[in-house]
Structure 1
Amino acid sequence: MKTRPARKPVLAEWSEALLSQWSRFGDDEWMLDIRTAGRRADQNRVSWAVALPEGAVISENAWRALHGTAKQFLWSMTVNPPTGRKRLSPASVQSKALTLKTMIRWMALDGLEMFASIDAGAVERLRAWLLARPGNKAKSITPNTIVNYMVVLKDLYRQRAKLNDAPLVDPLPQETTYEAAGLTPATRGSIPFIPDAIAISLLNTALQWVEDHGSTIVQAETIRREARTFGLTRGSKRQASDHVRKALRRAELKSPEGEALSGAYAVRHAANHLVEACYILIAGFVGMRVSEILSMEIDAIESHPIGETGVEQAYIVARLFKTVDQHGGRLERWIAPDPVVKAVSLLEQLSAPLREASGRHELFLVKNTQYGEIVPVTQMHIGWRINDFARHVGVPLHDGKPWAFSSHQFRKTFARFIARKDRSQLLGLAGHYKHASVAMTARGYVGSDFDLRQLVDHENRAETATALERMLVSDRLAGRMGERIVAGNARFRGRAGEQVRQDYIEFVLAETDLRIHACDYGWCVFQPETSRCGGEVGPSEAGRSPSVCLSCANMVIEPQHAPYWQDRRVRNQVLLPAANGMTAAVLTEAIEQCDNVLTRIGEHDG
């Protein structure tokens, strides 16, 4: 055990510096001024008054001193961070405080009385201890979580001149924080996107709830609430319930499943699920973050003219918290398609009684069952409710199990839809958006959101890599580009060609601007000089069609596209007997195209 070094000349008044209007850095109870929407109340507090853990091998004085250093470190990162780093926000202070408290617990069990005692060996012991601890749902802690601890260790060393106690040697001299956590590009991972079949099912169902059943559910909830209020003025709660049932039966309203909304319980559940459908629609159709959606307040929809056209465009007004310096977030606007405008209107109607009772303005409110308070919906709560809605409406299983939705997945999925420009999916959404083309959807909805543009570009690169992988290993491709690839991809196939294939894909992504665009009948390996559709930076949605693409040097069709060509063939055959001579010639040509494609990809049904 090392001797405690002499105290360094630091500001003596650091502990008296204001952390928030309620707390100072030296306090044992911190109340943080965090205004990000969707956070629980306990996520705005930090308690440093923690007892020595059982099995600790350090003194009580050392235990308190370590917590004092942790608070001083967070002060230094808030008022004077390392060169090139932003000051910690209140939310970052809270998250790093939790990391430090866990690290100090380990130090007490490991016998380290000072941060100055941490060396490379201690870092390895900390990493092993963290990996042995259970994480969420009893799973081991992920490498991404360990990165948080490595970053704090590195910053403690960087801030050593400003602290009474800090690592004296670089705890990670030969590796980055990601490498120390065991993360590589292959293992780092990311938030998953929602699989296509599940995303489309969930979004379509949410759309039906909002557009086809939303007004009915709001009407039923209004009847329930007004009947109950009237009934309570005439008698007991039981009599009020009888009054509600009678009023609902007279209205003869139906749930989205076709069942009668004849009782208070059924109506309340339908109203709760409608709120969830509204959230899903906004998240899936606009691509906003969960904190941005939960920050929405009354009158969240604004309309503004588009240039000199005289056409009005609706926007959602909410708060952007990430990447901004303004405390409490910055008001921003997101383009709102018609279904989302309808969803916001329904949320305003459903939240009206809660807003009136609480004096609050948010659209996502809930009555706390423990204390009876009306509080904003948290990110954790909305995540649970999304999964509850998916179970209720019977979203398809994924690999035989229910898909575990999280609120963050919708933004990733939204970006993926735009990046793919897949007409079989995104064009359906574009139709609901009342857009003329997918390109307009992609440009308009990404807007000025730089973070979302980066996410879209990442997904576009990932889609290109996936498509290239499939093409380079396939011996059954149609389309002019597909035939060329099959003729020359022998060296990329099988296990022998795996490394060559990966190196080639990495080269294409890093050294070229090649992007592969999807549609429901094939892939476009886009090259403007050979494009038959007239596209300049990508395929032209107005100019592309199956016939045009089959004559284009950019087209690739693989077996996964067979259902489209089989369906096209059947539809043309059904029309052929009743067609006149000229139409019959066109239909016959289309059928022959389908036959040729299906033969080349080995999916011809004879």
Structure 2
Amino acid sequence: MAVSPWSRFGDDEWRLDIRTSGRRADQNRLRWVVAMPKDARIGIGERAALIHAAKHFLWSMRVDPPAGRKRSSLASLHMKGLILRTLIGWMAIEGLRRFSDIDPSAVDRLCVWLRGRPARNGKARVSPSTVSNYLLAIKDLYRQRTKLSDAPRVDPLPLDTTFEAAGVTRATKGTIPFIPDEVAVAILGEALRWVEEHGETIIEAETIRLRARAIGLATGISRQASYYVRRALRQAHLTGPLGDKLDGAYAVRHAACHLVEACYIVIAGFVGMRVSEILSMKVGAIEYRPIGETGVDQAYVVARLFKTVDHPEGREERWVAPAPVVRAVDLLEQLSAPLRAASGRDEIFLVKNTQYGEIVPVTHMHIGWRINDFARHVGVPEHEGKPWSFSTHQFRKTFARFVARRDRSQLLGLAEHFKHASVAMTARSYVGNDFDLHGLIDHESRAETAAALDQMLTSKRLGGRMGERIVAGNVRFRGRAGEQVRRDYIAFILAETDLRVHACDYGWCVFQQETARCGGEAGPSEAGRAPAVCLSCANMVVEEQHAGYWRDRRARNAALLPRAGAMTAAVLTEAIEQCDGVLAKIGGQYEGN
């Protein structure tokens, strides 16, 4: 029986037909036969029987999964196969000759063994989530027992879920973090600067380098190529994004390499696509479609969606593309043109393999390493005294968090680049049909609401009409004595109501439609909200963290006052008095002249 165009069920190595962009070649191969442990207590024949049973189980998850479960993808089969291979090695040490020998006591011993193993990522021990993956494989073997010749016959986890047995809790789950605000703004700002202000210069330098090198090589003397390149670049007098001269092949190649990284960051940070989707992009990835009958065209990124899609090549999808992303894709097409011409490939994320000299698509691991290299190169600030460790998925989660917060200090920049009429359009429409991202945004929105409520319920000084009401009645929530009461109250609010706290740069909106002065329906109206409107609204809360906005607003109005006419002066004076009132409430008095 064939498991792929290249492998059959009985082969010692399965070469799976996984075409998800960004995967390394070894992540598509599953070697079943590895060296037996030195202290193995089973024979080679017994191990072969376990391998056959493991293959049978995996393929049953592909063609006939448990009731209510989707068919496992080939990528999932690869991951589960690695788990089963390690499990078979442990069974050999334990002297367990069949999967049917696994019972609750064996599961307990497996957990002890797993927790004593060092993790592959450099950590001292494997995480509870890793342990749960092994327990889930055993539980699924039990669930499939009627379809298999060898599987546990008694429930290996009769009393606990796999998460409970593995010790997975909210504290130990180890979710992927979002990028801290100051770090996210720094790296996205630098990436934008490279793409929008310096992309053309780097492309010009790379074009000069390649042409001069070709002329030098045509002389038949390879050393002449470097001479021609240096001379041509020095005559061009080009300067890189960090003020460095692009006067040699090394400087230009490195600038071009970092420009690719900047382009990736812009796409990931301003679209929220997954790494596999971004790396699947090919020439012609930008497509324009008319918006109704407006006569205006909207740009879209065309790429492939792999998650939840059965077909190995994924499904073509479109994401709204703001202007910087359109520019980033154009730069990537220009940068990858020589590699595409040399290889015959059409992807725009390509790299020349230094070991074998072949041109291959950029992998997930490679782009992750390069993002961190870009951050070091441009001097992204440290977080809590050490460099932030970036991963590709963090940009998707950070994008979701910015949208969920409706934080105008961040989203106004996005809205401007997206050419949207309002921040509300950015927050609602930009996510498109990415339902997984919708869920991630909702999760981040709930997290932001919980964090905001926790701050409000412990604060002694708040501004705004809602803030004053909260301070008047939040004594029972303050301090250590009120910590559990506060947690229970916030949990109740999130579980039993649809209350959401919406951020802006001058305060929080504890949104309630019936009292919203801005006229918002599902949330604050960006067209109707403004500092003066919000201060008169029953939903408004201002904290000390917002003091900077109110001090700046006061200073701007005060600077205009001496030259203003009578009517304008009255408006400015009213605005200054509003600022003074808010600052007095939150303890952030104005310190100017």
Q: Same fold (TM over 0.5)?
A: yes
Segments of 4+ in structure 1 off by > 3 A? Answer: none
Give the Cα separation in 1 of the matches to 2:146 and 2:519. 62
Residue of structure 1 equivalent to 2:67? 83
Give the Cα separation in 1 of the matches to 2:465 and 2:36. 71
1:6-45 aligned at under 5 Å gives the runs 17-45=1-29
For the residue of structure 2 that corresponds to 1:138, the secondary structure is coil
Give the Cα separation in 1 of the matches to 2:473 and 2:172. 32
For the residue of structure 1 that corresponds to 2:525, the secondary structure is coil
8 Å CA contact 2:50, 2:98 repeated in 1: yes
Give the Cα separation in 2 of the matches to 1:129 and 1:579. 77
1:107-256 aligned at under 5 Å gives the runs 107-135=91-119, 136-256=121-241
Residue of structure 2 equivalent to 1:72? 56
Residue of structure 2 equivalent to 1:364? 349
For the residue of structure 2 that corresponds to 1:30, the secondary structure is strand
CA drift of 1:181 comes to 1.4
CA distances 1:122-165 after superposition (whole Å, capped 9, x unpaired): 11111121111111123421122122111100011111122222
Give the Cα separation in 2 of the matches to 1:594 and 1:374. 60
CA drift of 1:605 comes to 4.3
Residue of structure 1 equivalent to 2:396? 411
Q: Which moved further from structure 2: 414-423 or 128-137? A: 128-137
Residue of structure 1 equivalent to 2:454? 469
For the residue of structure 1 that corresponds to 2:408, the secondary structure is coil
> What amino acid does structure 2 have at the position aligned with 1:458?
H
Match of 1:590 among 566, 575, 580: 575
Q: Which moved further from structure 2: 557-566 or 579-588? A: 579-588
For the residue of structure 2 that corresponds to 1:183, the secondary structure is coil
Give the Cα separation in 2 of the matches to 1:177 and 1:151. 6
CA drift of 1:540 comes to 0.9
Residue of structure 2 equivalent to 1:55? 39
Q: Check if 1:267 corresponds to 2:272.
A: no
> What amino acid does structure 2 have at the position aligned with 1:55?
D
TM-score with structure 2 setting the length: 0.98
8 Å CA contact 2:15, 2:29 repeated in 1: yes
Give the Cα separation in 1 of the matches to 2:578 and 2:348. 53
TM-score with structure 1 setting the length: 0.96
Number of residue-to-residue matches in the alignment: 590
Q: Which moved further from structure 2: 139-148 or 90-99? A: 139-148
CA drift of 1:35 comes to 0.5
> What amino acid does structure 1 have at the position aligned with 2:236?
A
Match of 1:556 among 529, 532, 541: 541
Give the Cα separation in 1 of the matches to 2:187 and 2:481. 41
> What amino acid does structure 2 have at the position aligned with 1:112?
L
Give the Cα separation in 2 of the matches to 1:327 and 1:242. 47
Residue of structure 2 equivalent to 1:509? 494
Q: Check if 1:544 corresponds to 2:512.
A: no
CA distances 1:207-250 after superposition (whole Å, capped 9, x unpaired): 00000000100110011011101110013221110000000011
Give the Cα separation in 1 of the matches to 2:212 and 2:346. 25
Give the Cα separation in 2 of the matches to 1:168 and 1:454. 37
Q: Check if 1:534 corresponds to 2:524.
A: no
CA drift of 1:584 comes to 1.5
CA drift of 1:189 comes to 3.7
8 Å CA contact 2:580, 2:590 repeated in 1: no
Residue of structure 1 equivalent to 2:474? 489
Give the Cα separation in 2 of the matches to 1:522 and 1:253. 45
Structure 2 unaligned spans of 5+: none
Match of 1:93 among 70, 77, 90: 77
Residue of structure 2 equivalent to 1:6? none
Give the Cα separation in 1 of the matches to 2:110 and 2:311. 36
Match of 2:484 among 475, 499, 502: 499
> What amino acid does structure 1 have at the position aligned with 2:229?
V
Give the Cα separation in 1 of the matches to 2:262 and 2:318. 21
Residue of structure 1 equivalent to 2:305? 320
8 Å CA contact 2:20, 2:312 repeated in 1: no
Judging changes above 3 Å, is the alpha-carbon distance between structure 1 residues 157 and 448 closer, same or farther for their aligned structure 2 residues? same
Give the Cα separation in 1 of the matches to 2:134 and 2:424. 42
For the residue of structure 1 that corresponds to 2:223, the secondary structure is helix
> What amino acid does structure 2 have at the position aligned with 1:100?
L
8 Å CA contact 2:194, 2:262 repeated in 1: yes
Give the Cα separation in 2 of the matches to 1:123 and 1:518. 47
CA distances 1:229-282 after superposition (whole Å, capped 9, x unpaired): 111001322111000000001111110011110000000000000000000000
Q: Which moved further from structure 2: 77-86 or 473-482? A: 77-86
Give the Cα separation in 2 of the matches to 1:281 and 1:122. 49
CA drift of 1:186 comes to 4.2
Structure 1 unaligned spans of 5+: 1-16
CA distances 1:561-582 after superposition (whole Å, capped 9, x unpaired): 1111111111112122222222
> What amino acid does structure 2 have at the position aligned with 1:65?
A
Give the Cα separation in 1 of the matches to 2:424 and 2:226. 53
Give the Cα separation in 1 of the matches to 2:338 and 2:133. 42
Identity %: 71
Residue of structure 2 equivalent to 1:8? none
Give the Cα separation in 2 of the matches to 1:260 and 1:510. 58
Give the Cα separation in 1 of the matches to 2:220 and 2:555. 67
CA distances 1:28-65 after superposition (whole Å, capped 9, x unpaired): 11111001000000001011121211222222222222
Coordinate RMSD, CA, aligned: 1.1
Give the Cα separation in 2 of the matches to 1:435 and 1:189. 36
Give the Cα separation in 2 of the matches to 1:40 and 1:107. 29
